[in-house]
Structure 1
C-alpha cells in the first residue's frame, strides 16, 4: 500500500493509501467523527465512521488531543467542499505520538505568546502558508538565475570590513583581529563577477540596527546578483524581470497558500506586468512636497510614509532612480547627467511594503574608487583587495540586493515581517 501526502490525492482517487499526519482539530456527532489533519504539505479532512472502524477505535479517536501524530489507512475520496478537493475515508488509525494540552488552541493569542511559541506556531495554517510562499520564492530564485547562466557564489559571513561603511555591525573577535557579521555579500560578489561574469549569492546577513518597525529584522536573507559588462539600465531590466518572475511563480505554484492567506490574486497579477514605472529621486521629492510632505528636502533619505505615498501612485512596484551621492555608499558610480547623483535605484513595493530591492552601477575606475574610500574615511588597507578589482581588467558592472523576508511579506500580504522568517531575530528576541 502506497504511503502518500494528500497533495498527491488526485493520483490515488478511490484507492486505499497510508497517510502520516497530525490532528489539528476534531469534532464528532453520533457515529461519525471529522478530523482536521495536516501532513506537513497540505491540510485536509479525514472522516471516521463508527461502523467502519469499530467502537473501540472510534472511542479512541475522541480522546486524541490537538497535534497528536497518527498513521492513517484510508480511501481517498473527492470532496468539492474542500480547498484541496479531496478527503480521506479512514479505515484504521495508529497513534504515533500523543499530544495533550497543546499550548496554541484555536482561540486568539497575543503576539508575544505566539512568538514565545514560534516553534509550535509554525504548525498553524497561516504560518504554514507563509513558509510555502517563502520556499517558492527561494526555488524560483534559483530557477531564474540558473536559467540565465548565473553562477551561485557563497560570500563569507565573517568579514573584516563593512561593505556599506556603516557602524550597524555585529562585532566579534577573530582570534587576534576584529571581525564583523556580514551585512552584505556585495563586495565579494563583485570579485566573483570578475571571475565568472554573472553571479549571485543567497544567504543570511545581519544588521545591528535598533529598530522595532514592521519592516526590520536583525538577521535576514539577501539575494545579491552581480553582473559584469552590465550598466545600470540593463540591471534595472533584470530586477523587474526577476520580481515579476517571483510573483508569477507564487501565483502558479502556491494557490492554496494564497487562498489560506486571503491574498488578492488579481492584485498580484498586476505585479507581473512589465515594465515597472520609474521616477527620478528629484521628481519624487517634488511630488512629495507638492502633496503636503513638508518634512522632506532634496538630499534626504525617504521614510516609510514617503515611500508608501510614492508607491501608491502606481499599481506596480516603482523604481526611484538616481539618488544623491551624499546619502549613498562609496562604491556607486556617478550619474553623468547629474554629478550630484549616482546611478542607483530602490524598488518600492506597492501596498505599503517599502523597499524590497536596492541596486546600482558600481564604480569601475581605480582612481575614483580610491578617492571615495579616502573621502568616506575608510581604511585603504582593508579595501586593498577591492581596489585590485579596478586594476586588473576592470569592466562596467552592476548589481542589486533583494531582501527575502520583505519580498515574502509583500507577496504573501502579511502585516509584519517577523512572520516571513521561520525563527525571526528581533531587537529584543533571541528565543526560541
Structure 2
C-alpha cells in the first residue's frame, strides 16, 4: 500500500511503501538510519542488516543525499521522533541516484543558500517555514469564506497607482504607460460596491531600494474591503482575523513550529481584542524610550515600531495618523481633520507593521479635492471617482503582508526565507 509520511499515523503495524528522498543518513554497526522526506514531512527509516541481508544493507549504506527511492516497511510508534513514528525498512528501490548534492549537512553562507534556493527549499527548516505559510493561507480562506466574503482578483497590470508612482515598476502596455500593481485596493473598493464584503490574495510589487530584513520587491498581500463598515468595524475584523490565523498555526503546525524552535508561549497570547494607541500616544511613547528626534508628522521606522511593540504582549494598533503622511483615499476624522481614520497593526517581537488599513473617503467633493491636491488627473483615475458618484457608502479595508506575517508567526528573522523564491534588490535568480 502506498502512503505518505503525513499519513503514516493511520498505518501503525502495517507494511506500506513511500516515495521519498534521502535527506541524510548515518549507520551504526549493523543498523542504518535513513532520514526520509517526501514533501509531506520527515521520517526515519531503520534498516537492520539481519533483516534485509548483506547486499541490501551495503546498498543502504551507500545511498547518497537527495537520491530518490521507494521505501517499503512497517510503521511503528517512536516517541523520540517529532513525528511520533518511524519505519522498520524491509526493502527499498533506488529511483535516481543524486551525485554531489551541493547543500551538505554543514553550515553554508546565506548567499550560497540563496543561489541554491531551488534546492534549499528541501531542507527541514525551510520546509517548515513554507508549511506555516501554507497554513496561514489556508486559514485566511477559511476565515473570510466563513464570514461571507467573496474572493475577487484585481489586475496586476494597472494604469494608475494606489499610493503614488515613485515606487512602481513601469512598463509599456502597447502604446500606453502601465505599472505592476503595488496594491489591489482601489479595485477591491469597486468590488465591495458590487459584493459587499470581498478579499483578494495576490502578488504586489514595490520598486523600493531597501535591503532591510522586512522588505521584498515582490510580496503577497491579503486585502479585504467592506461596504457599510466604518473604521471601528474594520479594526474588529482585523484582530479576529489575525487571532484566527495564529491559533490555526498553533493547532495545525506543531511539528513545524518545533523544527523552527519557535517559542509558542508568545503566540498563545494572541487573541482579540488587541490594544490600541493613537499616533499622538505613540509619539509620546517613543520619546519616553529615548527617541528624542521624532516629531509629530514623522513616520515610524523599524526601531520605533520595535520600541512600541515592546510595551505590549499582543499586536498593537496605532490609529489616527497625520493625514499628510497617509494615502489620499483615507477618510479624515470628522472631529479632527488633520488625522485620518486609519491604523497600522504592529506585530510583537520586533517584526514591525503587518497590516495597514483605513476607512475610505466616501464623499464625492472631498475625493475630488484629494484628486486635485495629489495631481490625480486623466482617465486612469476616473472610474475610482465614480464609486463616490453612484451609490457611495461608508466603507473600509486593509492589507496584510503575508511574508512579514509568516516571519513573525514562524519566528524567522528575514522575510527572504518566508517566500519560495524571493525577489530582492540584488536578486532575480533563481
* TM tier relative to shorter chain: over 0.9
Partner Cα separation in structure 2 for residue 10 and residue 167 of structure 1: 53
Partner Cα separation in structure 1 for residue 170 and residue 374 of structure 2: 20
Q: Map 1:271-420 onto structure 2 (within 5 A).
A: 271=270, 273-420=271-418
**Structure 2 gap segments, 5+ residues each:** none
Partner Cα separation in structure 1 for residue 343 and residue 378 of structure 2: 27
Q: CA deviation at 1:140?
A: 0.3
The runs of 4+ residues in structure 1 deviating greater than 3 Å are none
Comparing 284-293 with 14-23, greater Cα deviation is found at 284-293
CA contact under 8 A between 2:30 and 2:48: conserved in structure 1? Answer: yes
**Equivalent in the alignment of 1:10:** 9
Question: Helix, strand or coil for the counterpart of 1:315?
Answer: coil
Partner Cα separation in structure 2 for residue 364 and residue 170 of structure 1: 29
Partner Cα separation in structure 2 for residue 73 and residue 361 of structure 1: 58
**Equivalent in the alignment of 1:429:** 427
Question: Helix, strand or coil for the counterpart of 2:354?
Answer: strand
Q: Map 1:27-426 onto structure 2 (within 5 A).
A: 27-271=26-270, 273-426=271-424
Partner Cα separation in structure 2 for residue 291 and residue 405 of structure 1: 28
Deviations for 1:112-147, whole angstroms, at most 9, x for unmatched residues?
000000000000000000000000000000000000
Q: CA deviation at 1:416?
A: 0.3
Question: Helix, strand or coil for the counterpart of 1:119?
Answer: helix
CA contact under 8 A between 1:133 and 1:412: conserved in structure 2? Answer: yes
Question: Helix, strand or coil for the counterpart of 2:380?
Answer: coil
Q: CA deviation at 1:166?
A: 3.6
Partner Cα separation in structure 2 for residue 29 and residue 363 of structure 1: 70
CA contact under 8 A between 2:183 and 2:204: conserved in structure 1? Answer: yes
Partner Cα separation in structure 1 for residue 359 and residue 278 of structure 2: 16
Alignment root-mean-square deviation, CA: 0.8
Deviations for 1:308-351, whole angstroms, at most 9, x for unmatched residues?
00111000000000000000010000011211000000000010
Partner Cα separation in structure 2 for residue 133 and residue 10 of structure 1: 21
Aligned residue pairs: how many?
A: 430
**Structure 1 gap segments, 5+ residues each:** none
CA contact under 8 A between 1:165 and 1:378: conserved in structure 2? Answer: no
Q: TM-score, normalised by structure 2?
A: 0.99
Q: CA deviation at 1:380?
A: 4.5
CA contact under 8 A between 2:289 and 2:307: conserved in structure 1? Answer: no
